[in-house]
Each structure stands twice: as structure tokens, then as C-alpha cells.
Structure 1
Amino acid sequence: MNNKVDCQACSNENCIIKQNCLTEVAKPFLEKKLNVNARKGQPFILEGAPVHGLYFVQKGKVKVGKTGINGREQIVRLCHDGEIIGHRGFGVGQFYHISAVAIEDVVLCNFSNEVINDMLKSIPELSYSMMLFYAEELNRSENKVRKIAQMTVREKVIDAILYINRKFGMTKSFLNIQLSRKEIADFAGTTDEQVIRVISSLKKEGIVVAQGKKIGIVKLDKLKREIAEHNFFIDS
């Protein structure tokens, strides 16, 4: 579905397109943008599918995954309003190396490969911002590899909960995103059973509360202290 979202009227101030492409030079490119609606649970990028440009989340939440050992999914990113999806396949190959699924109903802005290439050649500010974005992504990836290698299971789960809190915040004492225990495990790099055990332990210690999929943080400072030596704050 293509109910076009006007970039100038968009509220996503952190979006690279909104920040760099509200000029007359960019106007012809923005007119070629497509908007795509995806329902909760619906994939809009399939791993191994041909690359068809970059997606920007206009509204909603998305999980980005990659198939790991024995076909198990590894969630590599959680995204919300204004973020880019599909950038690792852009310019380096013909196929996506990740999948992307809507966690809730989402509205996406899609620019084809050709349009994005032309924009980067025509708008220096956009090219520079994209370069900084890729550098930051590389830094995050390197930090995540280091943390996964050094953390205990409990620390991995705590790190995942803190990441979710930093990214999505809390409403009425609960995180603003509902993920299954499996999804938390797929993001933390552990198993469902281990996530269940760690959350149960944290509940008994009065550090978190849980109702079904909903998780709330009671003692934020205590969670931070548990993984302070791993510099949890680097990966926002």
C-alpha cells in the first residue's frame, strides 16, 4: 500500500532523510519514495531475497534477524521510528543478508537502490550522514561481539533488558515493547530456558516485575551495576 508520507511533515527528527533532504535538490527524489504498511508479525524483508532498496521506519517497531547455526534466528537489531533497515545489503550485493519483521503495525518509507544512489551522489550532506551512520553501526557490531564473548548468561539477559529500556523506554512501569522470551533469547544470544530462569531470578530479587510478555524494571541502577564493567551504555 502506498499512502505516501510527506517527509517535510514527518515527525521523525532523527531520520537521516528528514535531516538532510528537505531542499529543492532532494524534492524529485522524495517524490519517488514508496510507503509500505506491514501488519504485526508480517515480514517485509526476507533473508536471501533480492535487494530492493533501503527502508526507513516512519512509525512502529521492527525486529531485524539473521539465520544462525542450525537454522536458529538471531535478532541483530530492534528498530523504531526514523531508523534505517536493509543498509547492510545496499551497495555490496544483490541479496539481503537479514530479515525484517514488524513487531507491531508499521509504516515504512522505501527508496529504491537507484533513487538512493542518485541521492547520495547529489546531496553531500546525506552522503556524509550515511558515512557516519555506517561508522557507528560498525562500532556497535564490534562492541556486541566483544560483549557476547565476555558476558555470562545472566549478564547477556540484563544487557538485553537495559538495551530495550534505553531504546523504547517504559510506560506505567513496563517496557514499551512486548517481546516473547524466545525473542529476548534470540537477541541476547542465549536460549528461551535461560532467559526464563534469569527473569525469574531477577523477579525474586525484586529487580524486575513481569506480567505475561510485559517486563518492568524496578531497580534500574542495580541492573546497570551488574554489567557496568562491560560498558553497557555504548550500545544505544
Structure 2
Amino acid sequence: MNTGCLIKRNLNLNGIVSEFTHEKREFTCKKGQQFIMEGAPVNGLFFILSGKVKVFRTGINGREQIVRFANSGEIIGHRGFGTQEYYSIGVMALEDTALCYFSKDNLQKVLLTAPNFTYDLMLFYANELNRSEAKVKSISQMTVRERVIDALIYIERKFGQKNKFLDIVLSRREYANYAGTTEEQVIRVFSALKKDNLIDTKGKRVQIIDSSFLKREISEHNFYLDS
């Protein structure tokens, strides 16, 4: 199991979480496969062992709105866990992704018996709420160019670079669905950024040439979060 996930960090809590992990179910999703359906009943939580996914919900006129991206060690489906009966989001693998799944019943059992794990999960929820609130506030004040730049900085911070390009392949539409704009606007902004020698592209791959300059351009919004 990935060493960065909440379960791994709490494995030795009186043997309770260790026993809990034996009840997990592991499986693999192929690229493009959706493993959480929006509106489906909530049955538990998913943890990413390896790979990358996008978390989205259906917006106005059925348009996809990407809420966030996630990779190894992160929790998926937590927004539905607890009082909600149905997932408010859908999740799709962006590359072949290995996951482990814990049922709602098993999670409730360990939360009642492992206070350190419960506290760790509570902090995770608090951080998620802070990030969501900060994003909503910042994006509402950004221009289209700033939202696209913010998306690029977020992707770089989240996944890093590989062979000089961002270590994730996204379509222009996916950038638009995260930035809250249109595919045409993303293409225009990318063209302008390439002209200014701030980014470069090769097919769907994007290289950020001067991330410091891009950060300064959106610095007044003060939206630099860890993930």
C-alpha cells in the first residue's frame, strides 16, 4: 500500500487498523474507466495505490466540471461518506490506476475504535474544506487567462514534470473543465503563453518554461495550496 495514505500511516494502532486492512479489496482500472458513478449509492471509500484520476460532477447543461485531480496515496469518494447516501461526484482513471476499497461498515468500525486514525481523517476533511473554499473564492475573481494559468500551476504542483513536460496528459477540454472556461478559450490562452515563451506544447503534453513568472501573474489571488 502507498506509504502516503491515511491507512498506511496508522497501520500500527494497537493492531486495529492492521486487522482492518485485511478486509480491503484491491483492483485495477484501465485508462478511461469510470469507477465511481455520480448518483450511485455510497458503499465506502477508495484509496489510490498508484495512478492518476479526475474527480468531476455534472454541471449546467450536462457539462463536466472537474473538481480536482488525484494521484497515489489520496482518498477518493470521501465527499459521499458519512451522512450522504449517494455519490455527488464521478471519478475516472486518467491512466491505468491501482486502487483499494474499504466498505462503509468496515470504515465505521475502525473509526470508532482507532482515535488517531479518526483524528487524521478529520484533519483531512478540514483541509479539503479549506481548499474548496479558497478555490471558489479565488476563481470567482480571476480572469479566464488567470484561471488557465492557475490550472497549469496546480497541475505542475500536483504531478510534477517528467522529461520537461507535465507528468500527466490532459485534453484541452479537461483543462477547460477544471478552469471553468471553454476549450476555445484554453487554446487561445495557451497560444498567448507560448508566444510569450512561458509554456510549450507537444500534442496534448504541456511544458511550463517559466513557472515563477506565471505564479507572479496570479499572486494577488494568493491561491497556493499544497495539493
Fold conserved (TM > 0.5)?
Answer: yes
Aligned to 1:232, the other structure's residue is in SS state: coil
**From 114, 121, 127, the counterpart of 2:118:** 127
Instruction: Give 4+ residue runs of structure 1 displaced > 2 Å after superposition.
Output: none
Q: Percent identity?
A: 55
Q: Equivalent residue for 1:100?
A: 91
Q: Distance in 2 between matches of 1:195 and 1:92?
A: 37
Amino acid paired to 1:15: C
Q: Distance in 2 between matches of 1:71 and 1:235?
A: 30
Question: Relative to structure 2, which stretch is displaced further, 67-76 or 19-28?
Answer: 19-28
What displacement does 1:74 show?
Answer: 0.4
Measured against aligned partners, the alpha-carbon deviations of 1:174-218 in whole angstroms (never above 9, x if no partner) come to: 000000000000011111000000001000110000011000011
Q: Distance in 2 between matches of 1:177 and 1:135?
A: 27
Q: Equivalent residue for 2:4?
A: 14
Aligned to 2:16, the other structure's residue is in SS state: coil
RMSD, aligned CA = 0.9
Alignment of 1:1-236 (within 5 A): 10=1, 12-23=2-13, 24-234=15-225, 236=227
Q: Distance in 2 between matches of 1:166 and 1:107?
A: 22
What displacement does 1:233 show?
Answer: 1.2
How many residues were matched structurally?
226
What displacement does 1:231 show?
Answer: 1.2
> Could you tell me whether the CA contact under 8 Å between 1:52 and 1:112 is conserved in 2?
yes
> Could you tell me whether the CA contact under 8 Å between 1:140 and 1:235 is conserved in 2?
no
Q: Distance in 2 between matches of 1:84 and 1:122?
A: 20
Q: Distance in 2 between matches of 1:65 and 1:177?
A: 17
Q: Equivalent residue for 1:6?
A: none
Amino acid paired to 2:194: K
